[in-house]
Every structure is written in C-alpha cells, then in structure tokens.
Amino acid sequence: MSKSKQADTAQHTHTEQAELRKQILDLLHGGQAHATFDDAVKDFPTKHRATVPPNLPYSAWQLLEHLRIAQRDILQFSAPPTGGYHPLQWPEEYWPKSPEPPSAHAWDASIAAIRKDLELFEALITKPDSDLFKPFRWGDGQNLLREALLIADHTAYHLGELIVLRRLLGIWHK
C-alpha cells in the first residue's frame, strides 16, 4: 500500500474512532430514548428514599447506591488503581443491605460520586491515545468499548427501575 493510502486509512480510522467516541459519550449521558440520570434522581423526596414498595426487593437508596458501586467497579476495572483491580463479591458487595441511606447527606454524596466517576470514565474514552478495541492486559478480553457499553446498559436498566419505583410511589411527574 502506498504511503498516501496508508495515511488515508489511518486518518479514516482516526475519524471513525472520533465519531464512535462521540456516540459513546452521548450514550453514557443518556436521554436519547429515555430519561436521564438527572431526571430520575431530581427532587426525589427524602421521605421516600428508604421506601420499599410492595413486590419490589429494594428502595430508591439501594438502587442509587448499586448504580454507584457498579459504575465505580467498572471504572476501576477499566483503569485499575495502583495495586491493581480487586473484584467485588457478587451480589453482597454490589447492593447495600439497608434500604435506608446511612446519613442525611448520603443520597447527595452518592449522586455526586456517580457524576464524578462518570467524568473519570469519559476521560478514558476521550483520551487521544486510548484504543477502544484493544483488550485489557487483565480480564478475559474486555476492552474500553465493552466497558462503556456495559455502563450505559446497566445504568439504563436500573434508571428504568428507579422510575418505575417513583411511579409506584406517586412521585414521578414527567
């Protein structure tokens, strides 16, 4: 292949990856086909955060905290901290035991942590030298693209549950 064709192919690949990165970020922000994270948690009444509606196994607090824990786990798997990645035990370390937030500020702290961890994950996606398709040296062939799709899918699933929970409690006004 000539140098000009190689350059065209490399540029095309860079352009394709740039567009894919943009689409991934849009997916992670949500709201294209469903409510966003901010929609789901906005003005959630304090008195209902620990309520477990009939026939549901968890409260809004447990759903919110599960989202935070799972997203942080995926972030740490994708960019392990010093000392490496240490998997959590399923399901006990992914779900809080108590339906009630442990403190008055825990709800807001969990929301802030979810937003911050998502920013950190987005930084991995937008890092110019990151390869979305290259398997991590750890794990079983996972890559950054797979982990981004996992965060988006997992978040959408549980946000849907959170909205159903709000509807059951009569506090969804969208």
pLDDT digits (tens, 9 = 90+) for 145-157: 999 999 999 999 9
Q: Which two tokens stand for residue 49?
A: 């955060």
Nearest to 124 by CA among 82, 92, 76: 76
Q: Would you state the pLDDT for residue 21?
A: 95
If you count DSSP H runs as helices and E runs as strands, how many of each does the chain have, helices first?
5, 0
Other Cβ atoms within 10 Å of 30 Cβ, number = 18
User: 30 near 156, Cβ under 8 Å?
Assistant: yes
Burial (CB count within 10 angstroms: exposed 0-12, middle 13-18, buried 19+), residue 140 = exposed
Residues whose CB falls within 8 Å of the CB of residue 9, separated by 6 or more in sequence, listed in order: 1
pLDDT digits (tens, 9 = 90+) for 57-75: 999 999 999 999 999 999 9
pLDDT digits (tens, 9 = 90+) for 86-122: 999 999 999 999 999 999 999 999 999 999 999 999 9
CATH for 3-169 (1.10.3470, 3.40.1350, 1.10.150, 1.20.120): 1.20.120
User: How far is C-alpha 97 from the geometric centre of its chain's CA atoms?
Assistant: 21
Helix (H, G, I), strand (E, B) or coil at 17: helix
Residues whose CB falls within 8 Å of the CB of residue 149, separated by 6 or more in sequence, listed in order: 24, 27
Give pTM, 2 decimals.
0.91
Other Cβ atoms within 10 Å of 87 Cβ, number = 10
